[in-house]
A and B are shown apart, each in its own frame.
Chain A
Amino acid sequence: MRRFDPLSGARFFPPRGGALAILIKEWAQIWRDPSTIGLVVVLPLLLMFLFGSAVSLDTTATRTGLVDRDRSAASRDLAAAFSQNRYFAVTEMGEVAPLRQALLEDRVRGIVVIPEGFGAGLASGAPRDIQVITDGSQPNTAAFLSGHARGLLAQWSAARLGERGSDVRAPLTLNQRYRYNPGLQSRYTLVPGAIAIVMAMIGTMLTALIMAREYERGTMEGLLASPVSIAALVAAKVLPYFILGLASTAVCVGVAVFAYGVPFQGSLPALFLISSTFLAAVLGQGLLISAATRSQFVSTQFALLSGFMPSLLLSGFLFEIDSMPLPIQYISYIVPARYLIPSLQSVFLVGDIWPMFLPNAAIMLGFGAFFFYRVTRSIGRTIA
C-alpha cells in the first residue's frame, strides 16, 4: 500500500470533484505548515491559561498603608480589624508622608488614617470620622478599597456596640445570593469568554489570509479557472478552518473544565450549535476581509482591528456593554462575539437556555450567510 498523499489524490479527481480537490489541497497546505499545530493547540492553551490565571477581577488583599494618630484602645482595635480583614494587606506607619510617596510609586493603593481623638470621640458619643485616601489612577481597585473600608468600619462599630449591649440591628438588611457562581470567581466568567476570543481569532485571522494569499501569489486565477462554482470554491477553502476551529474549541472546553474546574451544566449539542454558528460568522468575516483587500498585510491589520479587538472589548467579555455610551452600544450589535459570550457563559454555568441560544444562533448564522454572500459577489466580479 502506498502512503496516502493528499496532493497526489487531487490529480485523480474528475472535474466535478473539483471542490473536493480544492478542499484537499487547502487541507494539505494547512497541515504542512508547522504553525498550524501552534494555532490549533498551543494558542488555545496559551490564551486559556492567560485568561484563567492572569486576568482576574477578584480584588483580594489590596496593599494599604495605615496611620493611627490616636493610639487609643479603640483605634488599636480598629487597626487590628483592618490587618485581619482579607481585603487589606496593611502596612502600618507613624506618618502619612512616607505613605504618600508609596502611593505615588504604586507600592500601596490606599491609605487609612485614624484621627487623633478617635477613641475619645467614640466614648463621648461624638465620633470622629476616619479618612481613606485611594490611588484614583486605578479606579476599580480604588472603588473596591473604599467600599470595603466602609463595610469594615460599619461592622466594627456594630460589633463594638453589640458588646456594650445596645441593639443596633439595622431595620432592613439585604441577603445577597449569587446564582450560578456562588463563590463569585471571576474565572468562571472569564474562562468561557476566553473560548470566544480563541474562536474569533482562528475564525477571523486565518481566513483573513487565505484568499489574500492566493491573490498575492498570483494563484487566484488558477483557482478561478478550475471548473468549480465560486460558492463551492469558497466552501472548500473554508471548511478545513471550520474543522480547525471546532478542534480548538474542544481543546479550550477541555482546559476550562479539567484545568480550571469551570462547571459544564449544559449539553454538548447546545455547545455545538452556538460555537458552530459563531464560527460561520467569523469565518465569513475573515474571508470577506481577505477577498476584499487582496493583500495579506492589509488583511492582517483589518482582521486585528475588526476581529480581535472588538471581540475582546466590545463583546461584554470584560466590560459591561450596558455601561458603555450609547453609540458604542449600537456598534457592539455588529460584533458577532456579543451574541456568543452570554450563550457560552450560560452553557457552562447555567445549562441549556434555548430561548436565549436560538435567537443568538440565528443572528450569528445570519452574519455568516451575509458575509459568504458578499464574498462570492466580491470574487465573482473579478472574472468578468
Chain B
Amino acid sequence: MGQTPRWSRLGRLAALAMKELKVVLLDQRARVTLIASPIIQLALFGFATTLEVKSIELGLVDRDGGRVAEQLVAALDGSPNVRRLVLYPSEAALGDGIAQREIIAGLILPQRLSADIAAGRGGEVQALLDGRRSNASQIVGGYLDTVVTRAGATLSSSGQLGARAPPAPQVLVRHWYNPNLDYLWFTMPSMIAVITAVLVLSVSAQSVAREREFGTYDELMILPLHPWEILLGKVAPAFLAGLANALLFVAMIPTLYGVPLTGSAALLLVAIVVYTMSLVGTGLMISCLASNQQQAFLGMFFVTVPLILLSGYASPVDNMPGWLQPLVAINPSHHMIVISEGIFLKDLPPGLVFGHLWPMAAAAITTFAAALLVFRARRE
C-alpha cells in the first residue's frame, strides 16, 4: 500500500466518488428529489414562513347601535388587513365563532357607548381573542388597539376629551437592514441553511448504512484505499448535491425574490462549503453508527429536527432559555443562518463571519473524526 503513487490513489478516490455519484443519480426519481425538490421547497416553504398576520377574519357584537360601530366598521372594512367582518347577535355567538375558528378575534361594543363618548365620559370596547393562536392574536390585538384608539380620537375630536391634552412625544422607528420588515428578507437567507441541512443529512446518512444493509460493506473494506478515503468517496454525492443547491439558492434569492446581497458573495461561498462539510460529517457519523437504512433514517431525523429548531429559523434564538444556549452555540445551522443573514442583509465584515465560521469547521472535523473511528471499529 505504501508504495502506491499519490496520483493513482487520488485517481481511485475520484473513481469511488464517481461510482457513488452514479449510484445515487442512476435512479430518475432520486435525480428529481435531489435537484428539483430543493427549488420547489425554496419557493413553497420560503413563502409559507411568515409570522406576519394578514387577511384576518373578525367579529363584531354591537349592543350600542350608535356612531362608534359605524366608525369601527368603516375603519376595519377599509383595511387591507381585514378579509371579513362578521356581525354576531350576541357575545355567546361570537364566542362560538372564535371556538370554531371562524374568526380570530371579535369586538364587543357595550350599551350606551356612543352616548358616553358624546358626553365626554369615555368608553371601553371589549376584545375577545383566540388564545390558541397566541402569536397571531397578539398581533391582531395590537392592531385592534390602534384602530379603536384612533376611532375614539375621531369621534371626540369635536370636543370634550383628549383635545385638551398637550401633544405627546412619538416614537420614530427605523428598521435597519430591512426597512420595510419584509419577512422574505429573513426567511430566504435562512432557507439556504435549512434546506441544505435536510438534503445533505438525508443523503449522507444513507451512504454507509445502505452498504451494510445490502451486505456490500465488506467489498467496501477491500478497496485499496484508506478508511478515510473510502468515507470521503462515499459522501461525495451528498456534498456535491448540497453545494450545488446552496449555490443555486444564492443565485436565485437576489434575482427572483429581490433580497439584496449586500456583503461578499465569495465569503458566503466559503461559509457554504464549510457548512456543507459539517453536515456531511454529521450524516456520515449517523450512517456509520446505523446497521440498516431505517436506523440511519431515524438517526438522521433525531439530528435534523433539533438542528432546525435550535437554529433561529423557526423561532428566535433570543427567546430560548439559557441552558439551551450551549446547544445553539455548537449548532452549525445556527451559525450558517447568522452568516447568511449577515452577508445578505448586513454586509457582515470578514472578522465577524470568521467568528461563526470556525465553530462550523470544528463541527466538520469532529464529526468526520468520530465517523472514522466508528467506521474502523466496526469493520471486523
Contact = CB atoms under 8 A, between A and B. Distances in A.
Nearest to B152: A172
Interface string A137-174: 11111110011011001100110010000111111111
Contact of A35 (B145, B152, B153, B294): B294
A295 interface: yes
B217 interface: no
B71 to A, nearest CB: 9
Contacts of B27: 295, 297-298
B185 to A, nearest CB: 7
Contact of A301 (B52, B202, B319, B324): B202
A178 B54 contact: no
Contact of B176 (A58, A136, A312): A136
A90 to B, nearest CB: 15
A188 B168 contact: no
Contacts of B172: 129-132
Interface in B149-188: 149, 151-153, 155-156, 161-162, 164-179, 181-183, 185-186
A172 B181 contact: no
Nearest to B201: A304
Contacts of A121: 169
Contacts of A171: 117, 120, 122-123, 152-153, 155-156, 161-162
Contact of B175 (A134, A150, A180, A295): A134
Contact of A46 (B57, B155, B302, B314): B302
Contacts of B48: 313-314, 319, 324, 328, 332
B246 interface: no
Interface string B123-144: 1111111111111111101101
Given A35-B294, A39-B298, A59-B316, A176 B127 contact: yes
Interface stretch (A3-11, A344-352, A376-384): A344-352
Interface of A: 33, 35, 38-39, 42-43, 46-47, 50-51, 53-60, 62-63, 103-106, 109, 118, 121-122, 125-143, 146-147, 149-150, 153-154, 157-158, 161, 166-182, 184-186, 188-189, 201, 205-206, 209, 213, 293, 295-298, 300-302, 304-305, 308-309, 312-314, 318-320, 322-325, 328, 331-332, 342, 345-346, 349-350, 353, 355-356
Given A63-B318, A137-B342, A174-B126, 13 more contacts: A39-B298, A55-B315, A104-B346, A135-B177, A136-B178, A168-B162, A178-B129, A180-B130, A181-B134, A305-B41, A313-B44, A314-B44, A350-B99
7 contacts: A127-B168, A136-B181, A139-B186, A143-B181, A171-B152, A173-B122, A323-B55
